[in-house]
């Protein structure tokens, strides 16, 4: 006696979201721009409330600086109580970026930092300058998350670069972040002239940053080596009570010397 074959069961198809349900998510948590400035601005005036609420729930963090991360979480706790005592929150610092800019040898280190999410915990990423992973070594952790199928959840908050660009009035349709300029005076001057020519040729806005104690030196170099007609904006202390953005042609910068607090973080924006 023969029997009919049993029909094969259809293969279950899983959505990308279902495939990663066993993992936690990587939350890109915006930071304030007042770190180390001595300004005591209420946190809810600097960050959306939904960001503060999310930060209060997270027990695992990857950050640039553990000390400043704890300071932020203390400010969060004053508004929305942390889900667990600060002493029990796990905070791990990002590796120092490689000087040669390569990331391949660091992949294993970033995979290790992602481990809490791989074990099912929600994981926060915190930058020192606003939005994580923008001009920030945390981008390598985001790459690791995508590599392992961990969902990445960006949150709205301040980005010093984009706020400076918006406030400058310069070309926001084409722009480039060039990071830190050389410290050596000769190399810095050559780089400024190179970027000025590129900006003029391609009508592309250039953005650079510097550590506060070198603000005066960089501003003086930009004023000296950019063309007189180049538009230069200095956005200083954005979101702070004494913050400002001054956007003038270099020729005017050479004639006038506005008083700027060089202890505040600044972004330099120019367009040839």
- Supply the pLDDT for residue 233: 97
> Is the Cβ–Cβ distance between 208 and 271 less than 8 Å?
no
- Supply the pLDDT for residue 39: 62
Q: Is residue 248 within a helix (H) or strand (E), and if so which, with residue range? A: strand 244-249
Q: Whole-angstrom Cα distance, residue 44 to residue 6?
A: 63
* DSSP secondary structure code for residue 31 in this structure: -
- Supply the pLDDT for residue 253: 95
- Supply the pLDDT for residue 38: 62
- Going from the first residue of the chain to its last (272 residues), give the mean pLDDT of each consecutive group of 10, the final group possibly shorter: 43 47 91 73 90 97 93 94 96 75 66 94 91 86 94 92 95 94 96 97 96 91 97 90 90 90 89 96
pTM: 0.81
Domain extent for 188:
160-271
> Is the Cβ–Cβ distance between 154 and 51 less than 8 Å?
no
CATH code, 22: 3.40.1010.10
Distance of CA 236 to the CA centre of its chain: 16
Q: Are residues 173 and 149 part of one domain?
A: no
Q: Are residues 174 and 150 part of one domain?
A: no
The order of strands in the sheet holding 175-180 is 175-180, 205-210, 266-271, 231-236, 244-249
Domain-located, residue 7: no
- Supply the pLDDT for residue 136: 80
For 32, other C-beta atoms within 10 Å of its C-beta total 23
- Supply the pLDDT for residue 97: 62
Q: Are residues 120 and 26 part of one domain?
A: yes
- Supply the pLDDT for residue 158: 87
The total of structural domains in the chain comes to 2
Nearest by Cα to 85 from 46, 108, 55, 59: 59
Q: State phi, psi for 179 to the nearest 5 degrees.
A: 70, -140
């Amino acid at each position: 006696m023969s029997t009919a074959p049993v029909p094969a069961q259809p293969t279950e198809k899983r959505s990308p979201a279902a495939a990663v349900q066993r993992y936690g998510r990587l939350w890109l948590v915006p930071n304030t721009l007042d770190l180390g400035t001595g300004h005591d601005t209420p946190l809810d005036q600097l960050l959306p409330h939904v960001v503060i609420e999310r930060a209060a729930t997270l027990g695992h963090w990857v950050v640039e600086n553990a000390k400043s991360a704890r300071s932020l979480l203390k400010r969060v706790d004053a508004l929305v109580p942390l889900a667990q005592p600060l002493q029990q929150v796990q905070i791990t610092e990002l590796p120092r970026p490689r000087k040669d800019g390569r990331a391949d040898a660091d992949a294993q280190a970033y995979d290790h930092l992602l481990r809490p999410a791989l074990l099912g915990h929600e994981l926060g990423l915190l930058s020192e300058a606003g939005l994580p992973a923008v001009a920030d070594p945390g981008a390598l952790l985001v790459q690791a998350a995508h590599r392992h199928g961990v969902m990445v959840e960006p949150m709205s908050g301040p980005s010093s670069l984009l706020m400076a660009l918006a406030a400058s009035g310069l070309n926001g349709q084409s722009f480039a972040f060039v990071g830190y300029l050389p410290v050596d005076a000769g190399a810095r001057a050559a780089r400024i002239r190179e970027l000025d020519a590129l900006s003029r040729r391609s009508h592309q806005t250039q953005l650079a940053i510097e550590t506060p104690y070198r603000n005066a030196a960089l501003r003086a170099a930009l004023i000296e080596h950019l063309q007189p007609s180049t538009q230069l904006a200095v956005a200083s202390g954005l979101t702070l009570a004494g913050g400002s953005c001054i956007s003038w042609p270099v020729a005017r910068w050479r004639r006038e010397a506005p008083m700027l607090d060089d202890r505040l973080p600044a972004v330099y924006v120019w367009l040839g």
